[in-house]
Amino acid sequence: MDEREQQLLEAFQALFRLKNECSCSVLSECGISNVTVKQVAYLRLIDEQGEVTFSRLAEITGTSKPTVTEMINKCVRMDCAYRAPCPDDGRIQYIRLTEKGRMIATAEQAALRRLIARMMEALDENEREELIALLRKVR
């Protein structure tokens, strides 16, 4: 690794530390400090899907229904999700988020907004424009 790559690595590590700090802060405000990355991913999927069944969530995640059930049971115990019976078919249950679950599901976006705010505070207008232009180049 040359010197430029090392500098870039160090800059990104610092940026990721700051982003993680923002994420921890948001999750702490939600009253959750021991949530796993996988649990957050499930909550985000449920939030994105709206009304989702256990079968559909297993299909989306590429896992088995027992695996989904185990994860949802954990989310229910954490008061992040609940089961809602289908009004048309009592055999079907939908997975829905509680307010706490919705907050956790959207915590990543909130953390990114905080990170961006901190970056914008540290940069002047020209630097902001330059940063935006540079980041748009990387796809």
What tens digit of pLDDT does each residue of 94-118 get?
Answer: 999 999 899 888 888 888 888 899 9
- Higher-confidence residue of 67 and 50: namely 67
Examine the domain organization and report whether 41 and 92 are in the same domain.
yes
Tokens of 28: 């702490």
What tens digit of pLDDT does each residue of 4-43 get?
Answer: 888 888 988 988 888 888 877 777 777 776 788 788 889 9
Mean pLDDT confidence for 60-70: 94
Tokens of 51: 């009304």
Look up the domain containing 20 and give its range: 1-30+107-139
Total count of domains within the chain: 2
Examine the domain organization and report whether 117 and 95 are in the same domain.
no
Q: In sequence order, what DSSP letters do the residues of 62-95 get, joined into one string? A: T--HHHHHHHHHHHHHTTSEEEEE-SS-TT-EEE
Check residue 33 and give its pLDDT. Answer: 66
Examine the domain organization and report whether 2 and 62 are in the same domain.
no
Global confidence as pTM? 0.69
Cα 110 from chain centroid (whole Å): 9
Examine the domain organization and report whether 99 and 116 are in the same domain.
no
Give me the CATH number covering residue 39.
1.10.10.10
Check residue 80 and give its pLDDT. Answer: 92
Examine the domain organization and report whether 49 and 69 are in the same domain.
yes
